[in-house]
């Protein structure tokens, strides 16, 4: 065992940073044994020096500037827990790597936008860039991809990567409540931010998916290539229709390796009730991986929170203490292949489409015709006339009560579905814009 301590400089003492300090204090001896050397926090950086964080900071050097901390001669590891993709955070991480400091971060946005360049910088300076906490909180998916699945060629990786969205969809499914109502409750419970756009719009999931895609397939990170759709338009009617058809709705991040390239997408998805991922409810996250020798595996656990996320940060620090320095993105940066987006292909699971159709002569025939024009075959059509339906006036001034219609398509392309729905909307047969949700046969 080395007597020389591994000196840590922690930037950001919020929920996760405070959790890291608590673990370091509580499990000091155990961590020293596992890392093979003492782990000592020598310096910290945060906005408020006087805030009580439940840990004695009197023996630690205080920095107001994370960039100064990153270049300090008194640290070996720069632990970045501030967040944000650019500005002083990016500058601090780059300076730490350039000055020969190892970096541990929980910053998914930084990695999704600059991960490839940071990986090159880390390798050039022979230091670690570890980020287990950046994806799915306490779930050890980064180490799983880097280590446990090294003998596999991965064909698909997907999962529930945002607890806020999963909580909202779970509540809507169990209680039959509207999206806005459940979102407000999630904000009051602390599961959603005051401005929830980043979560419910799918951006948080997309950041994590971009990182996983690179690790799984050996490509440069390409966040901008992800098809992105959030959960804002999901209604109780969609939830009920999914239930009637034997599905649940989840926000999934999906990455596939195809002969023509990599497909990355984030969107609400109907998945069979009997599938394992359908049982992952509340704020819980999960990541599933399909490998040629391991088969299909799924990791489930807490995707956020002080304890789980701090636990992942500590695991990265312990690895550095052991002298374990790996290519950050699993493949050496110089060997990462440029990202190539997959060509449009048929979606095997088909699509769920919900229309509010004006009930007058010719409307349903016109809709069927538009589907046929685009080569779309329908597996089923369900029409449910609400008893309280009131007459409505369509785009041509004709009277007819809007009737909910649910259609399930056979395998087809998204381009075909979108073209058909655009024509149906233009024809004036529907009261509101159509709803479309992909179906995954997991």
Catalytic residues: 208
Element (H, E) at 231: none
Check: CB of residue 320 under 8 Å from CB of residue 129: no
Query: Pairing mode, if any, of strands 435-439 and 402-409?
Result: unpaired
State how beta strands 129-130 and 102-105 pair: parallel
Query: Could you give the 3-state DSSP secondary structure of residue 43?
Result: strand
CA pair distance 105, 351, nearest whole angstrom: 38
Closest CA to 106 of 134, 85, 78: 134
Give the span between the Cα atoms of 109 and 87, in whole angstroms. Answer: 12
Letter string b/e over residues 351-360, b meaning 16 or more CB atoms within 10 A of that residue's CB: bbbbbbbbbe
Among the listed residues 70, 1, 62, the one whose alpha carbon sits nearest the alpha carbon of residue 31: 1
Q: What angle do CA 163, 168, 169 make, to 5 degrees?
A: 100
- Nearest alpha-carbon partner for 429 in 387, 345, 371, 374: 371
Return the DSSP state at 270: E
User: What's the CA gap between 409 and 218, in Å, rounded?
Assistant: 34
- Residues 132/107, Cβ–Cβ less than 8 Å: no
CB 58 within 8 A of CB 76: no
407: β partners: 353, 381
The values of phi and psi at residue 20, to 5°, are: -65, -45
**Cα–Cα distance list, 436 to 351, 385, 407 (Å):** 7, 20, 10
């Amino acid at each position: 065992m080395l007597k020389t301590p591994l000196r840590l400089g922690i930037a950001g003492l919020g929920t996760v940073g405070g959790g890291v300090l608590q673990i370091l204090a509580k499990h000091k001896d155990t961590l020293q044994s596992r890392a093979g050397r003492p782990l000592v926090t020598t310096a910290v950086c945060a906005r408020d020096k006087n805030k009580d964080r439940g840990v004695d900071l009197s023996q630690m050097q205080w920095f107001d500037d994370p960039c100064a901390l990153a270049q300090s001669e008194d640290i070996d590891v720069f632990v970045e827990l501030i967040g944000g993709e650019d500005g002083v955070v990016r500058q601090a991480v780059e300076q730490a790597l350039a000055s020969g400091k190892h970096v541990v971060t929980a910053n998914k946005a930084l990695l999704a936008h600059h991960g490839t360049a940071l990986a090159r910088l880390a390798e050039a300076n022979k230091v670690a860039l570890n980020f287990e906490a950046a994806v799915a909180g306490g779930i050890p998916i980064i180490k799983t991809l880097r280590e446990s699945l090294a003998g596999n060629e991965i064909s698909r990786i997907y999962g529930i990567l945002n607890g806020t969205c999963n909580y909202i969809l779970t509540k809507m499914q169990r209680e039959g409540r509207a999206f806005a109502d459940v979102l407000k409750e999630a904000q009051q419970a602390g599961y959603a931010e005051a401005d929830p756009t980043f979560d419910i719009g799918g951006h948080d999931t997309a950041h994590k998916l971009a990182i996983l895609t690179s690790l799984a397939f050996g490509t440069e990170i390409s966040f901008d290539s992800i098809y992105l759709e959030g959960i804002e338009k999901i209604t109780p009617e969609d939830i009920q229709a999914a239930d009637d058809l034997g599905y649940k709705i989840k926000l999934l991040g999906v990455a596939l390796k195809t002969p023509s390239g990599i497909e990355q997408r984030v969107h609400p998805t109907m998945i069979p009730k009997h599938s394992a991922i359908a049982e992952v409810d509340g704020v819980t996250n999960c990541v599933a991986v399909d490998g040629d020798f391991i088969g299909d595996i799924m990791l489930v656990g807490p995707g956020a929170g002080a304890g789980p996320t701090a636990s992942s940060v500590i695991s990265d620090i312990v690895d550095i203490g052991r002298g374990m320095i790996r290519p950050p993105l699993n493949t050496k940066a110089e060997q990462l292949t440029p990202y190539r987006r997959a060509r449009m292909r048929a979606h095997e699971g088909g699509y769920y489409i919900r229309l509010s159709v004006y009930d007058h002569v010719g409307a349903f025939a016109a809709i069927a015709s538009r589907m046929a024009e685009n080569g779309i075959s329908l597996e089923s059509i369900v029409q449910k006339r609400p008893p309280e339906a009131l007459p409505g006036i369509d785009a041509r001034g004709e009277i007819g009560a809007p009737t909910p219609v649910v259609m399930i398509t056979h395998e087809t392309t998204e381009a075909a579905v979108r073209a058909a729905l655009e024509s149906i909307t233009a024809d004036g047969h529907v009261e509101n814009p159509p709803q479309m949700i992909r179906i995954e046969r997991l």
